[in-house]
Amino acid sequence: VGEDAVWADLRQRLFVDPTTLKADYAASPAWLRTLMQAWADGLNYYLATHPQTKPRVLTRFEPWMALSFTEGSIGGDIERISLSDLKTFYGQPTPPTPEELGMIPREPSGSNGIAIAPRLTANGHALLLINPHTSFYFRSEAQMTSDEGLNAYGASTWGQFFVYQGFNPKAGWMHTSATVDNVDEFAERITRRGGGYAYRYGTASRPVVANTVTLRVRQPDGTMAERRFTTYRTHHGPIVATKAGKWIATALMWRPVPALEQSYLRTKATDLAGYMKVAALKANSSNDTLFADSKGEIAFLMPQFKPIRDDRFDYTRPVDGSDPATDWHGLHTLPSLPSVLNPRVGWAHNTNDWPWSAAGPDSPKAADYPRYMDQVGG
């Protein structure tokens, strides 16, 4: 959509590489490949039978493309990367926008969810409030059924084939925006090495990986031109900025196959145990969950993608990438996360806030968890 979108496209391509996604598609489970193929077939059939619809970009869909956007959240993790910082690093010095400085309110986002246990309801059944807040047209209301057991109703995000928040005949799930702290910045110590760069890691010097990203950009006269960028990354992630003389690498969850598996499979979960089995994929990085089922079970869950970190460091700021102690060390187990399962108080809620008030007196206690569990603190 022109020059103005170049930097958002580049930010996306730092993580989303078509060649890699094609390989991920080929290696994904057969049942998931079948779904992705059906998704592409359906879109292409619609375009073939509705010639009055004129796509602005994609004129044909391929199944691997479903892996490029696997969560339904209104604000993906990648949006935490400043476009002004990115343009300054890979283009020309660009001051922060008024929105980035907080001078202009951002578009409201986030949602509300409440789960109530049967003993507090008039009819003796669990209740679930699903109250999503999104941009206009960001999600559509739909019922999805299949001959293989799918029967889910709710809100689906454009371009995706799963119900993001909704219910099936036995269970319901609601997502709110989490205060989770699982996107980190690592300040890298960079030196020149031959024709490239290296970064310090412990006592070693490692090469900075350089890649070429080519973007097609629509010109004012409607023609297409190409822009090429040499991008850089360390083992922490792609370089997205420079601060205080150091290159900044961003680490975030990028697990497209497990993420798509989890997003779809949870729509077929029929009880809390089944939902938790799907959650064990640990590929939800940005959404809290309120859950209720026909057995009367309720729950509040934080995002399951939670890197284990050294609590000595403040991960709300860039940490020293040259110190191996700042690295992520695997993922937390589900029982080690601040969740609430069937609280005695009989309810759980979230309004895009911390988990420490999710269930009144039965809420998790911030003092029992590492401070990096959320960005708000205890």
Provide the pLDDT for residue 40.
97
Tell me the domain boundaries of the chain: 1-68, 112-182+254-313+327-373, 188-251
What is the torsional sign of CA 308, 32, 176, 349?
Answer: negative
Q: Between 3.60.20.10, 2.60.120.10, 3.40.50.300, 3.40.47.10, what CATH number should domain 112-182+254-313+327-373 receive?
A: 3.60.20.10
Beta bridge partners of 309: none
- Same CATH topology for 112-182+254-313+327-373 and 188-251: the answer is no
Distance of CA 185 to the CA centre of its chain: 16
What is the torsional sign of CA 360, 361, 362, 366?
Answer: positive
Distance of CA 354 to the CA centre of its chain: 18
Distance CA 111, CA 3 (A): 33
Radius of gyration of the chain, Cα coordinates, nearest whole angstrom: 22
**pLDDT below 70 — which residues of the chain?**
1-2, 4, 72-75, 106-109, 377-378
Distances (CA, A) of 207 to 52, 194, 201, 210, 234: 51, 10, 10, 9, 8
H runs (alpha helix) in the chain: 6-13, 18-27, 30-49, 83-90, 256-265, 272-279
Whole-model pTM?
A: 0.93
Residues 6+ apart with CB under 8 A from 5: none
Q: Which of 42, 46, 40, 45 is nearest to 63 (CA)?
A: 40
Q: Between 2.60.40.10, 3.40.50.720, 2.30.120.10, 1.10.3720.10, what CATH number should domain 188-251 receive?
A: 2.30.120.10
Provide the pLDDT for residue 2.
64
> Do 328 and 309 touch, CB atoms closer than 8 A?
yes
